[in-house]
């Protein structure tokens, strides 16, 4: 039986730094070009973060998002799904201000609070005598050891309401089993509209003894 799938391309993300990935697109035109190439290769959805074009640091500046989104729309009809996660260093207002400004078809909705830590990358670089290209990278990664990516139920309800007001479809980002229960809770109380759109991120910021491996889900539950 043929199984149809929806491919989402996340062309930058908010956690990888330029030193980790030297070909990481950071300029608005580069990010847009990679999104367009992904759509041409078969992606139905392109997930977008903005970066400082000089240093690659995650950014919430609306002018950067405007250039990225406008460039993508001019070349493809793929669904554009900008982040509302941004990075753990951003405030909730910084993360959300693109929603009323651009009213995208879809935007991410993180399904819970988590430890989103990458501090071990600094430890690994130090052991091997590697250096970072930009000053911000070391502090950004190191500080995540004591950082919490806050997405409380109050936050999630606020984000959902803002998305509903602006006719934006939430893409529920699920990092662990508990977040599936969070999503079910919001659906059962009609806070989150049915049918939901969800993506399961194996590993992500939570890395345990199993690394990035995710338990096999029953057929029809992926």
203 confidence band (pLDDT: 50, 70, 90): low
| CB 83, CB 108: distance < 8 Å | yes
24 within a domain of the structure (yes/no): yes
List the end-to-end C-alpha distance of the chain, in Å, as a whole number.
17
pLDDT at 3: 86
User: Residues for the chain: how many in total?
Assistant: 222
Q: How far apart are CA 222 and CA 125, in angstroms?
A: 35
| CB 189, CB 156: distance < 8 Å | no
19 within a domain of the structure (yes/no): yes
* Pairing label, strands 169-174, 79-82: unpaired
pLDDT, one tens digit per residue, over 9-37 is 999 988 899 999 999 999 999 999 999 99
109 within a domain of the structure (yes/no): yes
pLDDT at 208: 40
Q: CATH number of the domain at 48, please.
A: 3.20.20.70
pLDDT at 1: 75
Calculate the average pLDDT of the chain.
91
pLDDT at 156: 98
216 within a domain of the structure (yes/no): no
205 within a domain of the structure (yes/no): no
Q: How far apart are CA 12 and CA 34, in angstroms?
A: 9
* 43, 47, 140, 210 from 79: Cα distances, Å: 9, 9, 30, 33
| pLDDT above 50 (res 212) | no
pLDDT, one tens digit per residue, over 68-126 is 999 999 999 999 999 999 999 999 999 999 999 999 999 999 999 999 889 999 999 99
Residue 142 DSSP SS3: helix
pLDDT, one tens digit per residue, over 153-167 is 999 999 999 999 999
pLDDT at 4: 87
205 confidence band (pLDDT: 50, 70, 90): low
85 within a domain of the structure (yes/no): yes
Q: Is the peptide bond before 23 cis (omega within 30 degrees of 0)?
A: no
1 within a domain of the structure (yes/no): no
106 within a domain of the structure (yes/no): yes
Which residues share a beta bridge with 51? 58
Q: Give how many domains the chain has, as a whole number.
A: 1
* 57, 74, 109, 166, 188 from 172: Cα distances, Å: 24, 27, 5, 17, 15
- Show the domain range for 33: 8-115+152-200
pLDDT at 206: 52
């Amino acid at each position: 039986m043929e199984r149809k799938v929806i491919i989402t391309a996340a062309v930058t993300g908010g956690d990888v730094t330029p030193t980790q990935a030297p070909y990481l697109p950071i300029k608005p035109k580069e990010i847009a070009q990679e999104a367009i190439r992904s759509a041409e290769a078969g992606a139905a959805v392109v997930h977008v973060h903005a970066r400082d074009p000089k240093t690659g640091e995650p950014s919430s500046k609306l002018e950067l998002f405007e250039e990225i989104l406008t460039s993508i729309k001019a070349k493809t009809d793929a669904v554009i799904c900008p982040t509302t996660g941004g990075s753990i260093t951003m405030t909730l207002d910084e993360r959300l201000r693109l929603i009323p400004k651009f009213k995208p078809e879809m935007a991410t909705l993180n399904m819970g609070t988590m430890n989103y830590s990458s501090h071990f990358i600094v430890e690994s670089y130090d052991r091997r005598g590697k250096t970072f290209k930009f000053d911000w990278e070391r502090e950004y990664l190191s500080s995540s050891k004591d950082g919490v990516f806050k997405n409380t139920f109050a936050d999630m309800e606020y984000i959902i309401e803002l998305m509903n007001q602006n006719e934006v479809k939430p893409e529920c980002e699920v990092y662990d089993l508990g977040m599936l229960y969070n999503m079910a809770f919001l659906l059962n109380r009609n806070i989150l509209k049915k049918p939901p759109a969800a993506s399961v991120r194996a590993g992500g910021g939570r890395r345990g003894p199993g690394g990035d491996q995710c338990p096999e889900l029953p057929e029809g539950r992926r």
